[in-house]
Structure 1
Amino acid sequence: MTTTAPPEPSFLRATFGGLPRPFWALWGGTLVNRLGTMVMPFTGVFLTQARGLSLAAAGLVMAVFGAGSLLSQLLAGVLADRIGRRATLAGGMVATAAALLALGYSTTLPAILASMLLLGLVVDAYRPASNALVADLVSPENRPRAFGLLFWAINLGYSIGMTAGGWLAEQDFLLLFWLDAVSCVIFAALVWRAVPETRPRGKPEAGGFGVVLRDRLMVAFTLVVLGNALVYSQTFTTLPMAMTERAGLTTGQFGTAMALNGVLIVIVQPLVSGWLGRRDAARTLATGLAIMGVGFALTAFVTSPTMLAATVAVWTAGEIVTAGIAGTILTALAPAHLRGRYAGLFGFAWSAAGMLAPLLGSVLLETAGQRALWFTVGGIGLASAAGMLALGPAIRRR
Structure 2
Amino acid sequence: MTSVTNRPGFFQSRLGGFPRPFWVLFAGTLINRVGTMVEPFMGIYLTQARGMSLTAAGMVMAAFGAGSLLSQPFAGWLADRLGRRITLSGGMVATAATMLTLGYVTSVPGIVAAMFVLGVVVDAYRPASQALVADLVPPADRPRAFGLLFWAVNLGFSIAMVAGGWLAQSGFTVLFWADAVTCLIFGALVWRAVPETRPARAEKGTGGFRDVLRDRLMVAFVLINLAYTMVYLQAYTTLPLAMSAKGLPTSAYGVAMAVNGLLIVVVQPLTNAWLSRHDPSVVLAAGLAVVGAGFALTALVSSAAWLALSVAVWTLGEVLTAGVSGAIVAALAPAHLRGRYSGLYGLSWSAGGLLAPLAGTRLVAASPSLAWLLIGGLAVVAAAGQLVLAPAVRRRSVNP
In 1, the alpha carbon distance for the partners of 2:172 and 2:7 equals: 50
How far apart are the structure 2 equivalents of 1:31 and 1:258?
Answer: 20
**Counterpart for residue 376 of structure 1:** 374
Contact preservation (8 Å) 1:159, 1:262 = yes
Q: For residue 201 of structure 2, give the secondary structure of its aligned residue in structure 1.
A: coil
Cα RMSD of the aligned pairs, angstroms, is 1.2
- Verify the 8 A CA contact 1:82 1:205 in the aligned structure 2: no
CA deviation string 1:268-299 (max 9, x = no partner): 10000000000011111000000000100010
Where 1:37 maps in the other structure, the secondary structure is: coil
Q: Is the 2:329–2:342 Cα contact (8 Å) retained in structure 1?
A: yes
Counterpart-to-counterpart distance in 2, 1:168 and 1:233 = 26
AA partner of residue 385 (structure 1) = A
Please report the TM-score for the alignment, with normalisation by the length of structure 1: 0.96
1:226 paired with 2:192, answer no
Counterpart position of 1:271: 270
Q: Hey, what does 2:173 align to over in structure 1?
A: 174
- The alpha-carbon deviation at position 372 of structure 1 amounts to 2.1
In the other structure, the counterpart of 2:114 is 115
What is aligned with 1:3? none
Question: Following the alignment from structure 1 to structure 2, what is the Cα–Cα distance between the partners of residues 131 and 42?
Answer: 27
Counterpart-to-counterpart distance in 1, 2:283 and 2:364: 31
Amino acid at match of 1:328: A
User: Secondary structure of 1:10's partner?
Assistant: helix
Cα distance in 2 between the residues matched to 1:250 and 1:293: 24
Q: CA deviation at 1:318?
A: 0.3
User: Deviation at 1:263?
Assistant: 0.3
Could you tell me which runs of 5 or more consecutive residues in structure 1 were left unpaired when the two chains were aligned.
1-5
What do the CA deviations read for 1:147-178 (whole angstroms, capped 9, x no partner)? 00000000000000011101111211000000
Q: How does 1:1-398 map to 2 (within 5 A)?
A: 9-202=8-201, 208-245=208-245, 247-366=246-365, 368-398=366-396
- Matches of 2:388 and 2:156, distance apart in 1: 35
Identity score, percent: 63
Gaps of 5+ in 2: none
Report the residue type matching 2:151 in the other structure: W
How far apart in 1 are the matches of 2:291 and 2:252?
22
Alpha-carbon contact 2:207-2:337 (below 8 Å) kept: no
Residues 355-383 of structure 1, C-alpha deviation per residue, up to 9 Å, x if partnerless? 000100111112x1211221111011001
CA contact (8 A) 1:68 1:119 kept: yes
The one-character-per-residue Cα deviations of 1:209-267 (angstroms, maximum 9, x if unpaired) are: 1110000000000011111111111111001111112x211011210121000000000
What is the rounded CA distance, in whole Å, between the counterparts of 1:134 and 1:173 in structure 2? Answer: 34
Per-residue deviation, residues 306-354 of structure 1 (Å, max 9, x unmatched): 1011111100010001100111111000000000000000000000000
Q: Equivalents in 1 of 2:184, 2:88: separation in Å?
A: 11
Q: Distance in 2 between matches of 1:282 and 1:389?
A: 7
CA contact (8 A) 1:155 1:262 kept: yes
CA deviations on 1:29-60 (whole Å, 9 max, x unpaired) are 00000000000000000000000111111000
What count of residue pairs does the alignment treat as equivalent? 391
- Asked whether the 8 Å contact 1:291–1:315 carries over to 2, the reply is yes
**What is the one-letter code of the residue matched to 1:106?**
V
